[in-house]
Each structure stands twice: as C-alpha cells, then as structure tokens.
Amino acid sequence: MSFAACTSAFEALAPQHNDNGFGMNNEAVHQPIPAEDRAATTASPATDAGADYDIGERRLRRKISNRESARRSRARKQSHLDDVRALAARLRGDRAELAERARAARGQVALVQLANAELRAEADVLKCRLEMATRRALALNQLYNAAAAGLGTFDQTIFSLMV
C-alpha cells in the first residue's frame, strides 16, 4: 500500500477532535485536506503502484548489474591470478636455467683455474731453466773471452770460473 493510500485511510479512521496532541485546541492543524488538494500533493494509487513497480524494477536491475559487476570482478581477479601463476612458473623455469648455467660456469672456472695453475707451474720451471741457461751462457762468454785474451790455459780458465 502506498503512503498516500495509508494517509487517507488513517484520516478516515482517526477520531475528529480539536486537540493537536500538545494539549492545545488548534483547528488549523486537524483540518482535513480537500480531495482536489490531496490529489495534487500525493500520487494516485495507480501512479503510486507504478512508482513501486519502477522502484522494484530499478532494484532488480541494480541487483543484476551488481551481480554482473561482481562476476566481471571475479573474472578479472582469476585472470590476474592466472597471469601471476604463469609468471611464477616462468620465473621458476628461468631460475632453474640460470642455476644450471651458473653450475656450468663454476665448472668452467674450476677448469680454467686448474689450467692456470698448470701454466704457472710450467712458467716457474721454464723460468728456472732460463736462469740456468743464462748462467751457462755467461760462463761460456767469460771462458771464450779469457781464452781469446790468452790469460792462461783452458784448464786454468775453467778452474777460475768454478771458484
């Protein structure tokens, strides 16, 4: 029942007396509204029923719209979740690939370090051999210079170099 219908039913059933509810007699407060003024201020029952129908229809459309919006929101959320899961899987794969590459690189580093150590050892051996060859060359140079200068016999020259 609409508000206007309730108001008119209440006025018809209410006792007519001059008390305004505050203990005062006030005729202006309780004067009934003429029917033509009442029609102008309130909607007719037929229009009121249409308004109730419009309100109900709007509520129904809003409910449907809210449900659709919630469904789209859930779909977006699910899509985002799927994207994040796919990204996580791809990153796990990338991490595994990088870990394998790092392991292979560490193996290569170990091989290079081993080869480097071997080359250093070989360089040390060659350095010692070079120093010995240099000493021999200097000794031979001194021997040839002494022999060329005629400073004595060959045995004397060699003996002087040994001491």
What span, in angstroms and rounded, lies between the C-alpha atoms of 134 and 140? 10
Q: For the chain, what is the mean pLDDT?
A: 78
What span, in angstroms and rounded, lies between the C-alpha atoms of 94 and 77? 25
pLDDT tens figures, 8-55:
554 555 555 555 455 555 554 445 555 555 444 554 555 566 677 788
Amino acid 39: pLDDT: 46
Q: What is the identity of the amino acid at 116? A: N
pLDDT tens figures, 138-158:
988 887 887 777 666 666 666
Residue 19, classed as helix, strand or coil, is strand
pLDDT-based confidence at 113, cuts 50/70/90? very high
pLDDT at position 58 over 70: yes
Q: What is the identity of the amino acid at 87? A: L
